[in-house]
A and B are shown apart, each in its own frame.
Chain A
């Protein structure tokens, strides 16, 4: 039996993505004597994703923003929780001037934590600083660059189901603060006058444009393409790992600290379940916690989701899952 394991970073118990993948692989081996296991660590799409692959190389003129060359692209990253928009702009311009053809910026998703929402409420349009006051100039500077913006959410910037609406409705952001956030971004989009799309959503309506507190929208406005993070990061991980065939297996396993609807719709879990479906084999998920009900699990294409009964029990959970899915010799 051949098993492919893909894991996100799991800091609490396993460390970075590769450590998490290696731990699960090792535990599976120990539990079942199954030796045909390939494991790959996949970055989670947050601004520090590049660190999953290599130490950051400095970029001329930019502080706190570096780059890693993976899969023919410059994957930007920062050791901080989020990009400094001004430094990100400098990095983009510097790389474009150096002749870089493909730049990847992991914008992350929505920060639904209380501190995150408070930060957004305090300065709703901080991300606009990436334009450096000259959006046209940045767009021209990036004219020949294929700029991919990785997102882990499909929430658009504005509208009923936009950033402010989702944070207020689903995550209890103060309604007045949410209204201010919506108004602030509406003002930004109205001032710049989003170029009319002949067909398809405008940048402020595009799925994922809310990512990074609106950073994704700002980058889309200067020509960036919003793509699900896993669609780029999984191939990058496979390129780094090399060797194994990650498309064929008897069982696919996704390992994530938290399984929510964003993961199920567009994240690593969905990517793994799609791959399993293409191969006609099961996919399962091991998660620290899960927000999915039984129907959601089925809709996500998963045969089952195994969550930790309590924090700190990843090892025991993996052993139990391995013995459930793999015949013990």
Chain B
């Protein structure tokens, strides 16, 4: 069996986000899901964040455990996300997951795309 999870990444997750993730996973009723954060070319600023639950483990994936919440980043995305943090807000001003990425030189108004 290939060891696919020996690498680490520089992404962190806030307590609020981790708590929300645990809540969502409980709703899903599955214990095989991890939180995957990836970047993909596209969007108004050049790169798009993708944050979703994923049961897969790809060759070269980097995984970190945050009190039971496993955050996984694929090999190609690791350099773009070094130092990034995942947060969750549920206020009138802002709702949902957000990414604070020190590597991003600019981002668009929707917050989904960065460069």
Contact = CB atoms under 8 A, between A and B. Distances in A.
Given A102-B59, A146-B60, A195-B53, A201 B48 contact: yes
Contacts of B7: none
Which of B24, B35, B48 has the most chain A CB atoms inside 10 A of its CB? B48
A50 B4 CA distance: 27
B57 A198 contact: no
A231 B53 contact: no
A195 B59 CA distance: 23
B105 to A, nearest CB: 15
Interface size class of B (residues with CB under 8 A): 20 to 34
Contact of B112 (A144, A199, A223, A228): A199
Interface string A118-144: 000000000000000000000000011
B66 interface: no
Contacts of B53: 195, 198
Nearest to B41: A228
Which of A195, A199, A207, A225 has the most chain B CB atoms inside 10 A of its CB? A199
B55 interface: yes
A144 B56 contact: yes
A208 B42 contact: yes
Contacts of A101: 2, 58-59
Contacts of B35: 198
B81 interface: no
Contacts, number: 73
Contacts of A208: 42
A258 B54 CA distance: 39
Is the contact region of chain A dominated by helix, strand, or loop, or is it mixed? loop
B40 interface: yes
B50 A197 contact: yes
Contact of A226 (B40, B51, B56): B40
B4 A144 contact: yes
B58 A146 contact: yes
A198 B59 contact: no
Contacts of B54: 223
Which of A144, A154, A223, A231 has the most chain B CB atoms inside 10 A of its CB? A144
Interface string B24-58: 10000000000100101111000011111111111
Given A144-B4, A197-B50, A200-B50, A207 B41 contact: yes
B68 interface: no
A198 B42 contact: no
Nearest to B75: A146
Interface in A156-213: 195-201, 206-208
Nearest to A222: B56
B40 A144 contact: no
B51 A200 contact: yes
Interface in A219-256: 223, 225-228, 231
A145 B4 CA distance: 11
Interface in A63-104: 101-102
A195 B4 contact: no
A198 B51 contact: yes
Contact of B52 (A102, A146, A200): A200
Q: Considering the complex of A and B, which 5 residue pairs feature the smallest CB-CB distances, nearest first?
A: A207-B42, A199-B51, A200-B50, A101-B59, A198-B51
Given A144-B56, A206-B42, 9 more contacts: A143-B55, A144-B59, A146-B59, A195-B52, A198-B52, A198-B97, A201-B112, A207-B40, A225-B74
